[in-house]
Structure 1
Amino acid sequence: MDFINIGLIAFPINFLLLLGAMLIGSFVAKRIGRRQNVDVEPLLWRVFIASLIAARLVFVIAYFDMYQNAPLSILNILDGGFSPAAGILAAVAGVIWYAWRVREKRRPLLLAALTGGAAWAVGAVAATAVFAVPVQMPQAELVRLDGSPVQFSSLVGKPMVVNLWATWCPPCIREMPVLRDAQKNNPEVIFVFANQGESADAIQKFLDREGLNLDNVLLDPRIELSSQTQSQGLPTTLFFDAKGALVDRRTGELSAATLAQRIEGIAPRDIDPQLQYERPEKKDEDSAVTHQ
Structure 2
Amino acid sequence: MTLRKIFLLCTLILSSGFVLPAGAEQVQLKPFTPGSYQRLLDSNADKPFMLVIWSTTCSSCMKKMPLLHDLAKSRPEINIVMLSADDASATGLVQTVLARNELTNLEHWIFTEENAQKLRYEIDPKWYGELPRTYFINKNHERHGISGALSKEDYNNIFKVLLN
Superposition TM-score tier, normalisation by shorter sequence: 0.5 to 0.7
Instruction: Answer yes or no: is the 8 Å Cα contact 1:164–1:226 preserved in 2.
Output: no
Residue 213 (structure 1) aligned to one of 69, 88, 103: 103
Instruction: Answer yes or no: is the 8 Å Cα contact 1:167–1:173 preserved in 2.
Output: yes
Query: Structure 2 vs 1, CA of residues 266 and 203 (structure 1 numbering), >3 Å: closer, same or farther?
Result: same
Instruction: Answer yes or no: is the 8 Å Cα contact 2:66–2:101 preserved in 1.
Output: no
Partner of 1:227: 121
* 1:1-292 to 2 correspondences below 5 Å: 144-145=28-29, 151-153=39-41, 154-199=43-88, 200-208=91-99, 210-214=100-104, 215-222=106-113, 223=116, 226-228=120-122, 229=124, 230-232=126-128, 233-246=130-143, 248-267=144-163, 269=164
Q: CA deviation at 1:211?
A: 3.6
Instruction: Answer yes or no: is the 8 Å Cα contact 2:47–2:139 preserved in 1.
Output: yes
Q: CA deviation at 1:175?
A: 1.2
Q: CA deviation at 1:148?
A: 9.5
Q: CA deviation at 1:168?
A: 0.9
Q: What one-letter code is carried by the residue in structure 1 that aligns with 2:108?
A: V
Secondary structure of the equivalent of 2:29? coil
Q: What one-letter code is carried by the residue in structure 1 that aligns with 2:139?
A: A
Structure 1's consecutive aligned runs of 4 or more residues displaced over 4 angstroms after TM superposition are: 146-150
Distance in 2 between residues matched to 1:164 and 1:261, nearest whole Å: 20
Secondary structure of the equivalent of 1:168? coil
Distance in 2 between residues matched to 1:182 and 1:244, nearest whole Å: 21
Q: CA deviation at 1:147?
A: 5.6
Distance in 1 between residues matched to 2:32 and 2:154, nearest whole Å: 33
Query: Structure 2 vs 1, CA of residues 203 and 242 (structure 1 numbering), >3 Å: closer, same or farther?
Result: same
Instruction: Answer yes or no: is the 8 Å Cα contact 2:32–2:109 preserved in 1.
Output: no
Q: CA deviation at 1:249?
A: 2.1
TM-score between the two structures when normalised by the length of structure 1? 0.38
Instruction: Answer yes or no: is the 8 Å Cα contact 1:159–1:188 preserved in 2.
Output: no
Distance in 1 between residues matched to 2:78 and 2:152, nearest whole Å: 15
Which one has a bigger Cα radius of gyration?
A: 1
Gap runs ≥5 in structure 2: 1-27
Secondary structure of the equivalent of 2:134? strand
CA RMSD, aligned part only?
2.3
Secondary structure of the equivalent of 2:52? strand
Q: CA deviation at 1:216?
A: 0.9
Q: What one-letter code is carried by the residue in structure 2 that aligns with 1:260?
A: N
Aligned length: 123
Secondary structure of the equivalent of 2:135? strand
Q: What one-letter code is carried by the residue in structure 2 that aligns with 1:161?
A: M
Instruction: Answer yes or no: is the 8 Å Cα contact 1:158–1:188 preserved in 2.
Output: no
Identity %: 21
Distance in 1 between residues matched to 2:132 and 2:84, nearest whole Å: 10
Secondary structure of the equivalent of 1:239? strand
